[in-house]
Structure 1
Amino acid sequence: MLSGAALLSGAAFAAPPADLDARVDAAMKAHGVPGLAIAIVEDGKPVLAKGYGVRRLGAPERVDADTIFPTGSTGKAITAAALAVLVDDGKLAWDDKVIDHIPWFRMYDPWVTNEMTVRDLLVHRSGLGLGAGDLMFVPTSSRSRADTVRALRHIKPATSFRSGYAYDNLLYAVAGQLIEEVSGKTWEVFVRERVLKPAGMDSSVTEQAARFANPNRAWPHARTSGAVRGMGEQAVLDERKTLGDNGAPAGGLSSSANDLAHWLEVQLGKGTWAGADGKPVRVFSEAQSKQMWTPAVLTPTPTWPGKLAEAAPKFSAYALGWNVRDYRGEKMLDHGGAIFGVQAYVAMIPERNFGIALLMNAEDVQVMRGVALEIIDHELGRPKSDWVAAFDEFIDARIDGGLKALDASAKTRVASSGKASLPIPQYAGRYSDPWYGPMDIKQDRGGLRVDFTRTPGMTGRLEHSQHDTFRTVWDDPTIEPAYLTFALGAEGKVDRITLKAVSPIADFSYDYQDLLFTPVKQ
């Protein structure tokens, strides 16, 4: 294993930038980022694994190459690799029907239930809307993975099956359950035994409890004290309120720079890496490597403003846990990851046998993505570009747009403000959404309190906004606030409740808009 910063000498390929440490330190300081870790693989071998900054604001412990960070959705490729191992074992095939391995699996549409394949679970073409069902495990949850999978049958599709691309996390939870059904071991155990251990990823953990038990871990940080997330002072978040274990196959892996260097070795080695003792170790076959890298669905090519336009891909697709796109004429596989307060990014240019991974315990994505592109440009022999500044402009414009939309919405609400239709006590009651489950609204000191009962700590008071719309004021201010709108039936009683995020730039995992609560008969 690498220890601290490790560099190979005498290689014919490009070494990491000579001023990398200074560049990273300057970008982190300018943006108030507590900690960062970087792994670089060149010519298929690790040449750098290093930590920068601190694990937690206000504490002296430094980030090193073995500090573990939640890796968010970059771990989707780990779940895909676990399925690849089962394919190699002859236990399933990519185009097997899911229902053949999970007989109780159901989508909203019976036809889709019968047609959904293992491959479909991984490529975001199911017809579900963006982030549908994420509130079942974000910010955390008390429900089991199997219960989460059973709830899927109640989520209405946004489009027809396989007609387009919409990113989701929920079907990766199904993939995790599939691994358990086929192997007899939970996703956590199977991944640990059949992927992480053979890949030499000794620090990586699949369970939240194991992460909390590791003293060499990074804590999440975010700016949540402003009008929209991303504004205000950097602050430490509660690390236990990020992601429920039921959603771990979609983004619950925690890993380190050293371990991700090994993971890049495995990927670039088409399933094989050099091994800790110099003896090659195969994690999955070359045939499955090809399957996981093969595009399955086209994804939108973004239009980025200003300097970022140079980095925008001309083609973009999604494979099995990987984006496949071009960058400056080179084929690149990459994936970002985000758990509240933590960011991750993994990218490879296979034809150059090059890979990079970054982990950061903050949400200031411009630092992580900017530094990543600067390292990639160095590898490609391109002139230096200040990609951090380019991302700054993009993020600043996004926040400014969010503030303007928020201000316009507030003015509209003031202009059309009106009293609630019912006395406050008549809004109280138990309500239920078909996929989320129960939500309680209770009278408290002349007002109302709401409790999303399946999400521990997602409680707060309801503040009247206008007419029959109320705004959540969460006890935990890091949770995105929502508007709850009560609709009355013919008898003048609450008939249903719809929701939407207050912030126009809220993370899509707060999929309030997919909820429809109705009263539970007592």
Structure 2
Amino acid sequence: MKKTLILFLGCISLITLTRAQGIDRSSFIKDSLDVYINRALTNWRIPGVAVCIVKDDKVVLMKGYGVKELGLANKVDENTLFMIGSNTKAFTATALAMLQEEKKLSLDDNVTKYLPGFKLENKAAGEQAIIRDLLCHRLGFKTFQGDFTFYNTDLTRQQIIEKLGHIKAAYPFRSRWGYTNAAFLTAGEIIPRVSGKSWEAYLKDNIFAPLGMTNTLALTADMPKSFNRTVPHTLIDDRLTAIPYAQLDGIAPAGSISSSVNDMSKWVMAQLNLGKVGTKQVIPMGAIQATREPQDVVGSIRHLNGETNYELYGLGWFLQDYSGHRLIMHDGGVNGYVSSVTLDPQDHLGIIILTNTDQNAFYEALRWEIIDAYLKKPYFNYSDAYLSFFKASIAREQKINKTLRDSVALNLPTAMPVVNYTGKYYNELYGNMVITQGENNDLEARFEHHTKMFVRLQPLGGNRFYATFSDPVFGKTVFPFTFQGGKITSVKIKVADFVEADPYEFKKIN
């Protein structure tokens, strides 16, 4: 009760302070941000957050809040590692732009010049695709198309690139923007062909080490070995729970880096100074500028404060207009983590926010609160606004799952004996899945390339089963089976939209 009251009174004083200041919100960062963040940790149920603000070549704030793992007293500090997910993409794009500056490649070179085996289902598109296409998501795929096959699997990088060539693109080549993680992997695999170093070694030698990012890890396999690291968390049946680290090294150039706000501050400082660290040009200015050139239209965004702005994509960066300021930004999300990196070059402002639960939008709310403070815009309290949307979404999801659990409890008969659903299934892109009979009338599905994951299938009656993935990131859903001639012929597999939006049809082969 006391703690809640203190946070509530702190919030009241924060709002009163900013209103009294009118448009002068310069003291929000110094006087009120700690209260704002600590209140949000409680309201959002976030174990730990790390925040860094860089302004005019100085670190204004660099601080950890909360704990590395729920239930333990290990506090987050400025050197604590978080997975940064797709904020990795800017590093990959910058590395390739650096190689362009060294005349070792051109971003307009055909992909097949360096990866002769690269193919797309659209043969002409595969032959015409250039490195730039890979780095700005314009191959014609839907956002996240194919990611169930590629995300957190045991597939090698080469296997993922080969499988990418079997996906039928949803749109004509270069006609639509669609976020494609496997394209960034493909781009990253060009680096060893021209530099003689693996993607991870090139980043370490040419970006991490020169910038002094001594604690940053390129590969997810190294995260559990680190001493000062967070643990990922998610909500399982409305309980915040620690979960295993995602294994993303097969698709590393798209999202495998782990870093701290201290290390990331050095990356952001270099970005704001067009590649310079002091008087030394660590990253060529031309490489920085190349990643910020608009390549494709993402769409328009309506902000909570009422503004409607454009959103473009450069190379590894989103480009957005906000109140007459050009923002360069990216978010990152993997199992148990979401983060954001934002650059406002016009105001020489950089913001880094790292969190160790994937069930929050506070990282986004905080970004806008900080930007608004520096742009002297009125206080909005984005955290509460985002939290309201988040709670409503969770409530809808819980209602759907309760309805499905209630249906399971009715013990409705299946269309055929449960044993008939067992057997081996195959999807042309993914590969094999095996369904076996578990306890009672439950089934269990296991996937060839997700060796540590299984799916519990509970009858809903007829040909439908309630599916619960053992890896909570993949969600809970319904698997419908199809019949022909009195036999089961296939099943549609659907995972959480966070992974991939469209279902996969697995055909029964025995």
TM-score (norm 1): 0.86
In the alignment, structure 1 residue 156 sits paired with structure 2 residue 156:
no
Q: Deviation per CA, 1:336-377: give whole Å up to 9, x if none.
A: 111121111111111111111010112343322222222212
Note the C-alpha offset of 1:405: 6.1
Asked if 1:324 corresponds to 2:319, the answer is yes
- SS of the aligned residue for 1:84 comes to helix
Q: Residue in 2 aligned with 1:516?
A: 505
Question: Are residues 473 and 315 of structure 1, via their aligned partners in 2, closer, same or farther at CA, if it must alter by over 3 Å?
Answer: closer
2:468 and 2:475 in contact (8 A); partners too: no
Question: Does the aligned pair in 2 maintain the 1:243–1:339 contact within 8 Å?
Answer: no
Amino acid at match of 1:245: D
Farther off after superposition, 331-340 or 20-29: 20-29
Q: Distance in 2 between matches of 1:297 and 1:410?
A: 43
Looking at structure 2, the residues matched to 514 and 474 of structure 1 have their Cα atoms a distance apart, in angstroms, of 15
1:298-317 matched pairs, under 5 angstroms: 298-303=297-302, 308-310=304-306, 312-317=307-312
Does residue 40 of structure 2 align to residue 27 of structure 1? yes
Q: Are residues 87 and 514 of structure 1, via their aligned partners in 2, closer, same or farther at CA, if it must alter by over 3 Å?
A: farther
Paired residues of 1:207 and 1:252 also in contact (CA < 8 A):
yes
2:426 to 420, 432, 443: 432
CA–CA distance in 1 between the matches of 2:378 and 2:275? 33
Distance 2:55 2:499 in 1: 35
**Rounded Cα–Cα distance in structure 1 between residues aligned with 2:391 and 2:468:** 26
Matched, 1:169 2:169: no
Alignment partners' CA distance in 2, 1:466 and 1:107: 40
Change (3 A) 1:328 1:243: farther
Query: SS at 1:314's partner residue?
Result: strand
Structure 1 residue 377 corresponds to structure 2 residue 372: yes
Q: For residue 103 of structure 2, what is the aligned residue in structure 1?
A: 90
Q: Cα offset for 1:514?
A: 4.2
C-alpha distance in 1 between matches for 2:440 and 2:161: 39
Other structure's SS at 1:287 match? helix
Q: Does 1:118 align with 2:131?
A: yes
**Quick check: 1:121–1:174 contact (8 Å CA) kept in 2?**
yes
Aligned to 1:299, the other structure's residue is in SS state strand
Q: CA deviation at 1:80?
A: 0.6
Q: Deviations over 1:232-254 (max 9, x none)?
A: 12221222xx2421122111100
Q: 1:198 to 1:370 in 2, by over 3 A?
A: same
Q: Aligned in 2, Cα 1:440/1:395: closer, same or farther, shift over 3 Å?
A: same
1:109 pairs with 2:113:
no
| DSSP-derived class of the 1:67 partner | coil
Q: CA deviation at 1:68?
A: 0.7
Cα deviation, residue 477, structure 1: 4.9
Contact 1:39/1:261, CA 8 A, preserved across alignment: yes
CA contact (8 A) 1:424 1:446 kept: no
User: Structure 2: which 5+ runs fail to align?
Assistant: 1-24
Map 1:70-85 → 2, pairs under 5 A: 70-85=83-98
Q: What residue in structure 2 maps to residue 460 of structure 1? A: 455
Q: Distance in 1 between matches of 2:479 and 2:50?
A: 40
What's the CA shift string for 1:452-474, capped at 9, x where partnerless?
12012221332222322222233
2:180 and 2:167 map into 1 onto residues whose CA distance is 12
Matched, 1:246 2:240: no
Aligned residues: 483
C-alpha contact (below 8 Å) 1:198/1:281 kept by paired residues: no
Residue 426 of structure 1 aligns with an amino acid whose one-letter code is N
Q: Is the 8 A contact 1:49 1:65 kept in 2?
A: yes
| 1:495-506 alignment runs, 5 A limit | 495-501=489-495, 506=496
Q: Which residue of 2 aligns with 1:286?
A: 285
Change (3 A) 1:313 1:170: farther
In 1: Cα distance, 2:377 partner to 2:439 partner? 64
Match of 1:233 in 2: 239
TM-score, length-scaled by structure 2 = 0.88
Q: 1:8 maps to which residue? A: none
User: Retained in 1: the 8 A contact 2:44–2:387?
Assistant: no
- Between stretches 171-180 and 450-459, larger displacement belongs to 171-180
With over 3 angstroms needed to count, the CA separation of the structure-2 counterparts of 1:314 and 1:86, relative to structure 1, is: same
Q: Which amino acid aligns with 1:141?
A: T
Q: Would the alpha carbon gap of residues 195 and 14 (structure 1) be closer, same or farther in structure 2, given more than 3 Å must change?
A: farther
Which region of structure 1 is more displaced relative to structure 2, 253-262 or 457-466? 457-466
TM-superposed deviation, 1:98: 0.8
* Secondary structure of the corresponding residue to residue 106 of structure 2: coil
**Distance in 2, Cα, partners of 1:137 & 1:85:** 27
The one-letter code matched in structure 2 to 1:118 is I
SS at match of 1:19: helix
Q: Tell me the distance in 2 between the aligned counterparts of 1:263 and 1:478.
A: 29
Cα deviation, 1:301-320, whole Å, max 9, x if unaligned, reads 1345xxx143x541111111
Residues 122-141 of structure 1 mapped to structure 2, 5 A cutoff: 122-138=135-151, 140-141=152-153
- Measure how far apart 1:429 and its partner are: 1.9
Residues 194, 427 of structure 1: alpha-carbon distance in 2 compared, 3 angstrom cutoff: same
| Residue deviations 1:30-77 (CA, integer Å, cap 9, x gap) | 322211111111113333321111111111111111111000111110
Quote how far apart the aligned CAs of 1:410 are. Answer: 8.7
Q: Structure 1 residues 55, 445: CA separation in 2 closer, same or farther (over 3 Å shift)?
A: closer
Q: What residue in structure 2 maps to residue 259 of structure 1?
A: 263
CA distance in 1, matches of 2:163, 2:309: 38
Superposed, 1:327-342 pairs within 5 Å as 327-342=322-337
1:3 alignment partner in structure 2: none
What amino acid maps onto 1:104 in structure 2?
G
Give the root-mean-square deviation of aligned CA atoms: 2.5
Report the secondary structure of 1:462's partner residue: strand
1:480 CA drift (Å): 1.0
Q: Which amino acid aligns with 2:286?
A: A
Q: Secondary structure at the match of 1:59?
A: coil
Structure 1 residues 405 and 127: alpha-carbon distance in aligned structure 2, compared to 1, 3 A threshold:
farther
> Deviation string for 1:7-47 (max 9, x for gaps)?
xxxxxx96843322222222212322211111111113333
